[in-house]
């Protein structure tokens, strides 16, 4: 994918071709280990840029467009908007932004349906009257654009033309701009809502990375591929309610609708800066329930993923009311609830160990040296548990001499 385009210099960085390297980790494991390169899957694609390796984990691994836009945002994390027409086009979230950066040149590639299908489209504009006054803030904004490069539905723009800034100040007043000032950051998200931050106040309390991503989602947000990507960047505990809004069981459907439409919206505002409040379709995410410590089959069900391989499930027999949920969440915030280990990242291999009790068990970091040790043979079993309830060994394998 894209090898020929890069080799021909169709896409460049600082007028130089971008080299592509393929590394066989079985042959270069010492190099991989020395640089502490860790990925969740093989093969993996890493971009080396400005002294660091960045993992590309686009949702559509076969899409050249996603990869190109990822690289483009690393190189140009913030685009300059020079005219009123630029600003109006930029704020039209329903339309994909036409990139005119040096990386793309005349070879701009559209995301097309990938962008139009996104549910969390977001645009951010920094209106900066005098860049000399906001060096730290601009650095933080650019870092946010670079660090959020995997969000192909997010773009950050910069306006420095004083006449344009005065015009938008006159049009939008305190809705966008602070009283008596001309420098602000405005975020517009997919539901049409806008938010602003006064640059005279400096960086937001938890930085622009947090502010941009937190404002990109609603106080109560559905769990899906798009929102989960944002949740990962916010890095807060996630309270997930498993619901079935289309259940044929009228009681389950009624309780699910009440939880999503009434209870969670009432509870969420009090915990906005400490928790992510989300709900998930139990049919799609059923296998995640057990990983989050839910051992019963009741719907709705709630659990908190604490981002530290710890989970806190809501008591099975407790009523799901706004007051009780608030009390429970407040206890969590205060550290008064007992957490338990999650099932994420575990390899449930008891049965395999039992069947192969006389065989050496090798962890990933020891695998290559052990298998290629002189004078030894290895029969390799490849297996995974992913989100399965029970592990099943793959039919598998090959001999290594």
Query: Does residue 345 sit within a domain?
Result: no
Q: What is the pLDDT of residue 18?
A: 74
Alpha-carbon distance of 216 to 246, in angstroms, equals 27
Residue 242 DSSP one-character state: E
Query: Does residue 230 sit within a domain?
Result: no
Q: What is the pLDDT of residue 54?
A: 75
168 and 97 in one domain? yes
390 and 300 in one domain? no
Query: Does residue 26 sit within a domain?
Result: yes
CB atoms inside a 10 Å sphere around CB 100 = 12
Q: What is the pLDDT along the chain (401 residues), one digit of tens a residue?
A: 566 665 555 676 776 677 776 766 666 555 555 555 655 566 677 777 877 777 777 656 567 888 889 999 999 999 999 999 999 999 999 999 999 998 888 778 899 999 999 999 999 999 999 999 999 999 999 999 999 999 999 999 999 999 999 999 999 999 999 998 999 999 999 999 999 999 999 999 889 999 999 999 999 999 999 999 999 999 899 999 999 999 999 999 999 999 999 999 999 999 988 899 999 999 998 888 888 989 899 999 999 998 767 899 999 889 999 999 999 999 999 999 888 776 554 433 443 444 444 556 666 677 677 766 666 565 555 544 443 333 334 333 333 33
Query: Does residue 78 sit within a domain?
Result: yes
362 and 262 in one domain? no
8 and 101 in one domain? yes
Give the residue from 340, 360, 390 where a domain finishes.
340
173 and 300 in one domain? no
Q: Mention every residue, 6+ apart, whose C-beta is less than 8 A from residue 127.
A: 159, 165, 168, 169, 176, 177, 182, 183, 184, 185, 186
Query: Does residue 137 sit within a domain?
Result: yes
> Could you tell me if 20 and 3 are in contact, meaning their C-beta atoms sit under 8 angstroms apart?
yes
376 and 295 in one domain? no
110 and 18 in one domain? yes
Give the residue from 340, 361, 384 where a domain finishes.
340
Of 55, 77, 59, give the one whose Cα is nearest residue 212. 77
Between strands 154-159 and 78-80, the pairing is parallel
Backbone angles phi, psi at 343, to 5 degrees: -95, 0
> Could you tell me if 128 and 158 are in contact, meaning their C-beta atoms sit under 8 angstroms apart?
yes
For residue 315, the domain's CATH number is: 3.40.30.10
Backbone angles phi, psi at 61, to 5 degrees: -65, -20
CB atoms inside a 10 Å sphere around CB 155 = 23
Range of the domain at 293: 235-340
Query: Does residue 366 sit within a domain?
Result: yes
> Could you tell me if 199 and 169 are in contact, meaning their C-beta atoms sit under 8 angstroms apart?
no
185 and 99 in one domain? yes
Query: Does residue 222 sit within a domain?
Result: no
Q: Which two tokens stand for residue 174?
A: 């305190």
Domain count within the chain:
3
Alpha-carbon distance of 390 to 365, in angstroms, equals 25
359 and 328 in one domain? no
Query: Does residue 388 sit within a domain?
Result: yes
């Amino acid at each position: 994918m894209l090898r020929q385009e890069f080799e021909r210099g169709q896409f460049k960085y600082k007028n130089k071709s971008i080299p592509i390297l393929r590394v066989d980790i079985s042959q270069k494991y010492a190099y991989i280990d020395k640089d502490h390169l860790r990925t969740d899957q093989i093969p993996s694609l890493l971009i080396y840029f400005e002294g660091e390796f960045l993992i590309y984990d686009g949702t559509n691994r076969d899409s050249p467009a996603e990869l190109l836009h990822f690289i483009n945002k690393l190189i140009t994390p913030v685009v300059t908007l020079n005219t009123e027409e630029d600003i109006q086009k930029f704020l039209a979230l329903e339309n994909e932004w036409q990139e005119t950066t040096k990386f793309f040149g005349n070879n701009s590639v559209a995301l097309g349906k990938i962008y139009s299908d996104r549910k969390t489209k977001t645009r951010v504009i920094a209106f900066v009257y005098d860049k000399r006054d906001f060096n730290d803030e601009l650095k933080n904004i650019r870092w946010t654009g670079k660090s959020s490069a995997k969000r192909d539905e997010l773009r950050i723009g910069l306006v420095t033309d004083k006449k344009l800034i005065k015009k938008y100040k006159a049009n939008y007043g305190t809705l966008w701009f602070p009283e008596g000032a001309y420098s602000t950051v405005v975020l517009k998200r997919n539901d049409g809502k806008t938010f602003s931050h006064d640059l005279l106040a400096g960086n937001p309390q938890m930085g622009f990375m947090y502010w941009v991503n937190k404002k990109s989602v609603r106080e109560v947000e559905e769990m899906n591929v798009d929102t989960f990507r944002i949740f990962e960047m916010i890095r807060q505990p996630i309270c997930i309610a498993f619901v079935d809004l289309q259940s044929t069981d009228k009681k389950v459907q009624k309780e699910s609708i009440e939880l999503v439409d009434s209870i969670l919206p009432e509870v969420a505002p009090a915990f906005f800066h400490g928790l992510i409040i989300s709900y998930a379709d139990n049919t799609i995410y059923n296998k995640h329930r057990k990983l989050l410590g839910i051992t019963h089959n009741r719907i709705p069900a709630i659990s908190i993923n604490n981002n530290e391989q710890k989970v806190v499930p809501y008591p099975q027999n407790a009523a799901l009311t706004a007051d009780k949920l608030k009390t429970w969440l407040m206890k969590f915030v205060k550290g008064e609830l007992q957490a338990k280990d999650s099932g994420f990242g575990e390899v449930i291999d008891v049965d395999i160990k039992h069947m192969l009790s006389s065989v050496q068990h090798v962890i990933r970091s020891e695998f290559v040296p052990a298998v290629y040790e002189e004078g030894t043979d290895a029969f390799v079993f490849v297996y995974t548990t992913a989100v399965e309830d029970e592990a099943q060994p793959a039919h598998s394998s090959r001999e290594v001499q």
